[in-house]
Structure 1
């Protein structure tokens, strides 16, 4: 790898890490009181897939440890946003689904963060964002494969 490629890689990942931190901070502040970005992400995932998931499946989907996912799921259960049921075939396993309260909380979160995201996209320009998406998707796929 050349020094030029090294510099380019460092610059790219520096931008990605900074964007991640800034987006996390800005969106976290906009979420409804008491909701964390991790909780919104899980609710959004459950709503999109439309079926039950095990905690292990959710941890894998988010590239988290089971402990980190259990913490988020405990908070969502305490808030009344998810339904947790035992696996009738294996009592050690549980299934998680989003409930009506969780759907309402997800919708409130989307309503809170959408204007922020839309404003940023508008300022950058939709054509430029469309051009960036394939590169970002490929980068995500390459990192996810490793």
Structure 2
């Protein structure tokens, strides 16, 4: 019996993620943002002044990946880093005015990309689908010992 990719939760979730990322990237590019930068900004729009370690944990990415992303964002004038007042090894990552000015437009294009993903479902099923995805993510995190984000 062969493996049916159309019945694999992992394969389908991966395809959703790939297509969503491509849709998001197309919409963010005119703003000078990548999907990774958008995720960092969305965390900082929610709570500005986080450390790199906090951002890494909340977004579930590797430390080196976060360091590279933050380096590009600092170069592009989206964030500023300053020494942590209580920990000489840490830096506080803060939004610049330029990044704050992008929030409304960037979140609007992210909503558009999300609508593309959900567009194949009737409105009544969209909330159920999102609820189910959230439960799956929580169960996987718990099973892998990953803290909730």
Q: Same fold per TM (> 0.5)?
A: yes
Query: What range is the shorter-chain TM-score in?
Result: 0.7 to 0.9
Gaps of 5+ in 2: 145-149
1:44 aligns with 42
1:89 equivalent in alignment to 2:86: yes
Q: Following TM superposition, where does structure 1 have runs of at least 4 consecutive aligned residues deviating by more than 4 angstroms?
A: none
1:1-146 correspondence to structure 2 within 5 Å: 11-33=8-30, 34-48=32-46, 50-145=47-142, 146=144
Report the TM-score, using the length of structure 2 for normalisation. Answer: 0.82
1:82 touches 1:96 (CA, 8 Å); kept in 2?
Answer: yes
Q: Which moved more, 1:94-103 or 1:14-23?
A: 94-103
Structure-2 separation of matches of 1:19 and 1:143: 17
How many aligned residue pairs are there?
A: 140
Instruction: Let me know the Cα RMSD of the aligned residues.
Output: 2.3
Higher relative contact order (CA 8 A, sep 6+): 2
Which of the two has greater helix per residue? 1
